[in-house]
Amino acid sequence: MAQNIIAANWKMNNDEYSSKKLTYEFLKLLNRKNNPKTLKVLCVPHPFLLSIDNMCTGTESVFVGAQNCSSFKQGSFTGEVSALMLKSLGIKYVIIGHSERRDFFSETNEELLNKVLRSVERNISPIFCCGEPLIFRNKNNHLEYVINQLKETVLKLNKESFQKVIIAYEPVWAIGSGKTASNKEIEEMHVAIRKTIKQKFGSSVSKNTSILYGGSVNAINAKEIFEIHDVDGGLIGGASLQAQEFIDIVNSIS
């Protein structure tokens, strides 16, 4: 069975002090009610990876992830952060393919595939984002658009490498907008993604692949979303910047 995962994406927010404060408040709220079988991943800005990871060390089922990595292994690429660098810090997860990276930094599927390859080479699990802009949903081409994103990236991996991948479906029009896809829309996409994985890699891999939903998830709507068929958790943006709201989201998944 796929593992339940709640991942926080802090994006480019907070300085070192406020990042540590947020982590402290989150860890303080963890208690016996938190299901240890649910993986919690805090994806924090690169400068704070080590300090936040040190704070989380020893806390059951809580890990730290990066928000990006380079498509290159190493070399003269000023400002880039390689998967090897992340690995040397003990980082086990990295977000790849977020729509903000695609839109603002023009990241292509080819580049994203290389980032995924660099990550899995270092045994780092990519939280791979996919999702459609509103224009494709309005044209009723949303399923084809998202499946094509996967076919041009993670579905090109071999079976062993793909099993390290976590999929995060985030409709672009719902990210940070306050709009959430309907339960029917979410289920339709998650079922289609899992079916496509099954066709490529077989039933066992499909059943064990975690598929998360992201896009204006909050403490109010989280439980209902996590109860949708084929939803194994969430990639949480703005709501993860408030410790109490994030812990309420964590506690919403059974």
Our measurement of the distance from residue 167's CA atom to the centroid of its chain's CA atoms, rounded to an integer in Å, reads: 7
**C-beta separation of 212 from 168 below 8 A:** yes
Residue 98 known to be catalytic = yes
Q: Which residue type is seen at 110?
A: E
Q: Which of 144, 141, 114 is nearest to 128 (CA)?
A: 114
- Rounded to whole angstroms, how far apart are CA atoms 238 and 8? 9
Q: Which of 149, 71, 185 is nearest to 117 (CA)?
A: 71
Our measurement of the distance from residue 2's CA atom to the centroid of its chain's CA atoms, rounded to an integer in Å, reads: 14
**Of these residues, 107, 132, 170, 190, which one is catalytic?**
170
- Rounded to whole angstroms, how far apart are CA atoms 66 and 72? 16
Burial class (CB in 10 A: 0-12, 13-18, 19+), 46: middle
**Of these residues, 25, 98, 111, 245, which one is catalytic?**
98
Residue 224 known to be catalytic = no
In the DSSP assignment, the letter for residue 90 is T
Q: What backbone phi and psi angles, to 5 degrees, belong to 175?
A: -75, 115
- Rounded to whole angstroms, how far apart are CA atoms 184 and 201? 26
Q: Which of 28, 48, 34 is nearest to 91 (CA)?
A: 48
Query: Catalytic site residues?
Result: 98, 170
